[in-house]
C-alpha cells in the first residue's frame, strides 16, 4: 500500500487596515471613543482607500493571503451608496485577484437582509460583529442600543449568505461578573461563529465610562483579572473549535502614549500575557495532579518560540511556581522537537507531555 503524505503550507495573512472612525455609527456606547482608539479624526474617502490599498500592495514582497479590512465605526450603518463607494477599490482589487478577501466590522443591529444582500454583491467575505457581551443587562448598562437577540439574528443572516462571521467580545463592562461572562461564552458558542476577538474594557478618555470611573461608579478589571478572564475565554472557545484571532486591543501610538487610557487593563503585549497565563495553568495543573509540592527540581522543555511565554514577563511564571509549590528549581530548556503551545516536563526519570486540554479549572 502506498501512503501519500500531503503537506499543506498555511499562507500567512497580511491585513491592509482602513480605519473609519465612528463614521456611520448612530450610537455612543459608554466605552467608545473611536477617534482615540484608531487614531483617526477625519472620515476616509474612496480615493484614500484606493491609495492605501495601492501603497500597501506595492510593499508586499512575499506570498501572503491579503485582506482589506475596514475597522472602527459601524460600516453597515453608513448609507448604502457610501458603503459601496468605500468598498469599490477593495472589490476591484478582489476581482482582479490582487487581494483575497474583504473584511469589515459593524454593529449587530446594522445587519439586515438587504444589507447582507449588498455586502454579498460587493463580495465582502468576512464581517466582525461588535458584540461585547450577550448579557442584556450588561448591554443595557453599556448603552449598546441592542440586545443579545440582535446578535443571534445578525449571525444567522450572515451565515445564511455564506459570509464568515466573527464576534468581538469585551469582558469587564459594568454589570459583568464571572457568571455573566460564562453565560456570554456559552451563548456565543451556540451561535457557532467562525472566530472571536477578545478585548477587555479599558477606560478611554472622553467616554461615558471615564466619567463613571472618575465618579467612582465603575471599577475596571485589573490586568491580572483581565488576563485570567481572557485566558478562560480563549481556552473554552478553542476547545469548541472556535478560533480566537486576538486577545487585547491592537497596540497603537494613541494607546501607548498613556494620555488616552485613563484606567483599565491595557497592555501592549496583552495577548502574550494571556498565552503566558495559559502556560502557567498547564504547569500548575500537572503539579497539582502529580502532587509535586515537595519536588526539588523540575525540568521543562518548550518550543524555542514559546520561551518568553513559558517564563512569563520578568520570569513571573517561574517565581509564582516556586513560591506556590515550594519548588527549589525549575529548569527550562528550548527544544525545537517540542510542539508549539505544548510542554514536555521531566520528573524523576519520567516524561510527561502537557497541553492546553489538560487544564481543568481556570
Ligand atoms: S457601536 Fe461601535 S463605533 Fe458605535 S459607539 Fe458603539 S463601539 Fe463605538
14-57 confidence digits (pLDDT tens): 999 998 866 657 788 999 986 545 545 557 899 999 999 999 99
Provide, rounded to the nearest whole percent, the portion of the chain with pLDDT above 90. 73
Ligand 1 atom closest to the Cα of residue 74 is: 3
Which atom of ligand 1 approaches the CA of 144 most closely? 6
Query: In the prediction, which pLDDT does 204 show?
Result: 93
Which residue from 23, 29, 108 has its CB within 8 A of the most atoms of ligand 1, so it is best to mutate?
A: 29
Share of the chain above pLDDT 70, in %: 91
DSSP 8-state secondary structure symbol assigned to residue 36: H
Work out which ligand 1 atom sits closest to the CA atom of 130: 2
User: Residues 353, 342: contact at Cβ < 8 Å?
Assistant: yes
Q: From the CA of 309, how far away is ligand 1's center (Å)?
A: 33
More confident: 100 or 350:
100
- Whether residue 130 has pLDDT greater than 60: yes
**Residue ranges lining ligand 1, Cβ < 6 Å:** 22, 25, 27-29, 32, 34, 73-74, 107, 130
How remote is the CA of residue 231 from the centroid of ligand 1, in Å? 25
Report, as an integer, the average pLDDT of 103-120.
Answer: 97
Cα 181 to ligand 1 centroid, rounded to whole Å: 20
pLDDT of 4 strictly over 50: no
d(CA 38, CA 71): 8
Distance in Å, CA 67 to ligand 1 centroid: 23
SS3 of residue 184 by DSSP: helix
Q: How confident is the model at residue 210 (pLDDT cuts 50, 70, 90)?
A: very high
Average pLDDT estimate for 168-173: 98
DSSP-derived 3-state class of residue 198: strand
For residue 25, the model assigns a pLDDT of 76
CB-count exposure of residue 141 (10 Å: 0-12, 13-18, 19+): middle
Say how many Å lie between the CA of residue 276 and the centre of ligand 1.
31
Question: What's the distance, Cα to Cα, between the start and end of the chain in Å?
Answer: 46
Give the span between the Cα atoms of 12 and 262, in whole angstroms. Answer: 35
Q: How far apart are alpha carbons 85 and 87 in whole angstroms? A: 6
pLDDT for the residue numbered 83: 94
pLDDT of the residue at 43: 73
Predicted confidence at residue 23, as pLDDT, reads 62
Q: Give the list of residues 6+ apart from residue 208 with CB closer than 8 angstroms, or none.
A: 28, 30, 31, 143
Mean pLDDT of 125-135: 97
Asked whether residue 8 carries a pLDDT value surpassing 60, the answer given is no
Q: How confident is the model at residue 2 (pLDDT cuts 50, 70, 90)?
A: very low
User: Which pLDDT belongs to residue 308?
Assistant: 95
Residue 267's CB: how many other CB atoms inside 10 A?
20
Residue 144 Cα to ligand 1 midpoint, Å, equals 8
Q: Whose CA is nearest to atom 6 of ligand 1?
A: 29
Pocket test for ligand 1, best of 22, 23, 27, 36 (most atoms within 8 A of CB): 27
Cβ atoms 19, 44 nearer than 8 A: yes
CA of 237 to the centre of ligand 1 (A): 24
> What is the per-residue pLDDT across 180-201, written as a single tens digit (0 to 9) for each?
999 999 999 999 999 999 999 9
Mean pLDDT (whole number) for 198-224 = 96
Measured CA to CA in angstroms, residue 302 lies from 309, 310, 321, 334, 349 at distances of 10, 8, 16, 5, 18
Residue 255 pLDDT = 78
Choice among 100-104, 223-227, 249-253, 343-347 with the minimum mean pLDDT: 249-253
Report CA(13)–ligand 1 centroid distance (Å).
Answer: 26
Pocket probe mutation, ligand 1, options 23, 25, 208, max atoms within 8 Å of Cβ = 25
Mean pLDDT of the chain: 90
Instruction: Give the pLDDT mean for 75-97.
Output: 95
Which ranges of the chain would DSSP assign to H, the alpha helix?
Answer: 34-38, 46-59, 80-95, 113-121, 136-141, 148-160, 178-190, 208-214, 223-239, 253-256, 270-289, 307-311, 316-325
Question: Does residue 334 carry a pLDDT above 50?
Answer: yes
Question: How many CB atoms neighbour CB 282 within 10 A?
Answer: 22
> CB-based contacts of 360: which residues, under 8 Å, 6+ apart?
285
Query: Cα–Cα distance between 49 and 68 in angstroms, integer?
Result: 9
Domains of the chain in sequence order:
13-268 (3.20.20.70), 275-358 (3.30.2320)
Cα(274) to centroid of ligand 1, in Å? Answer: 25
Predicted confidence at residue 110, as pLDDT, reads 95
For residue 257, the model assigns a pLDDT of 79
**Nearest residue to 165 (alpha-carbon basis) of 121, 132, 195:** 195
Buried b (16+ CB within 10 A) or exposed e, 214-247: eeeebebbeeeebbbbbbbbbbbbbeeebebebb
Nearest residue CA, atom 3 of ligand 1?
73
pLDDT at 41: 52
Amino acid at each position: 500500500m502506498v501512503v501519500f503524505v500531503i503537506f499543506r503550507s498555511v499562507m500567512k495573512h497580511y491585513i491592509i487596515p482602513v480605519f473609519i472612525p465612528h463614521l456611520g455609527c448612530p450610537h455612543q456606547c459608554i466605552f467608545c471613543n473611536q477617534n482615540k482608539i484608531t487614531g483617526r479624526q477625519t472620515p476616509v474617502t474612496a480615493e484614500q482607500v484606493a491609495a492605501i490599498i495601492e501603497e500597501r500592495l506595492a510593499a508586499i514582497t512575499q506570498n501572503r493571503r491579503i485582506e482589506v479590512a475596514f475597522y472602527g465605526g459601524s460600516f453597515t450603518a453608513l448609507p448604502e451608496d457610501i458603503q459601496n463607494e468605500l468598498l469599490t477599490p477593495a472589490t476591484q482589487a478582489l476581482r482582479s485577484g490582487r487581494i483575497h478577501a474583504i473584511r469589515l466590522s459593524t454593529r449587530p443591529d446594522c445587519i439586515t437582509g438587504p444589507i447582507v444582500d449588498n455586502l454579498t454583491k460587493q463580495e465582502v467575505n468576512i464581517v466582525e460583529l461588535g458584540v461585547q457581551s450577550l448579557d442584556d443587562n450588561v448591554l443595557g448598562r453599556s448603552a449598546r442600543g441592542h440586545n443579545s437577540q440582535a446578535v443571534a439574528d445578525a449571525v444567522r443572516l450572515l451565515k445564511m449568505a455564506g459570509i464568515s462571521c466573527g464576534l468581538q467580545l469585551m469582558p469587564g463592562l459594568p454589570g459583568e461578573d464571572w457568571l455573566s461572562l460564562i453565560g456570554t461564552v456559552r451563548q456565543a458558542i451556540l451561535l457557532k461563529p467562525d472566530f472571536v476577538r477578545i478585548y477587555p474594557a479599558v477606560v478611554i478618555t472622553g467616554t461615558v465610562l471615564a466619567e463613571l470611573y472618575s465618579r467612582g461608579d465603575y471599577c475596571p478589571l485589573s490586568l491580572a483579572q483581565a488576563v485570567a478572564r481572557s485566558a478562560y475565554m480563549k481556552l473554552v472557545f478553542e476547545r469548541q473549535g472556535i478560533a480566537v484571532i486576538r486577545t487585547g486591543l491592537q497596540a497603537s501610538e494613541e494607546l501607548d502614549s498613556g494620555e488616552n487610557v485613563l484606567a483599565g487593563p491595557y497592555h501592549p503585549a496583552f495577548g502574550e500575557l494571556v498565552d503566558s497565563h495559559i502556560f502557567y495553568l498547564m504547569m500548575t495543573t500537572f503539579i497539582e495532579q502529580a502532587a509535586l509540592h515537595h519536588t526539588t527540581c523540575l525540568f521543562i522543555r518548550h518550543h524555542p518560540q514559546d520561551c518568553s511565554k513559558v517564563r512569563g514577563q520578568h520570569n513571573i511564571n517561574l517565581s509564582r511556581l516556586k513560591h506556590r509549590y515550594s519548588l527549589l528549581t525549575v529548569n527550562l530548556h528550548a527544544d525545537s522537537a517540542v510542539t508549539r503551545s505544548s510542554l514536555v516536563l521531566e520528573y524523576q526519570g519520567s516524561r510527561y507531555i502537557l497541553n492546553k486540554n489538560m487544564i481543568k479549572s481556570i
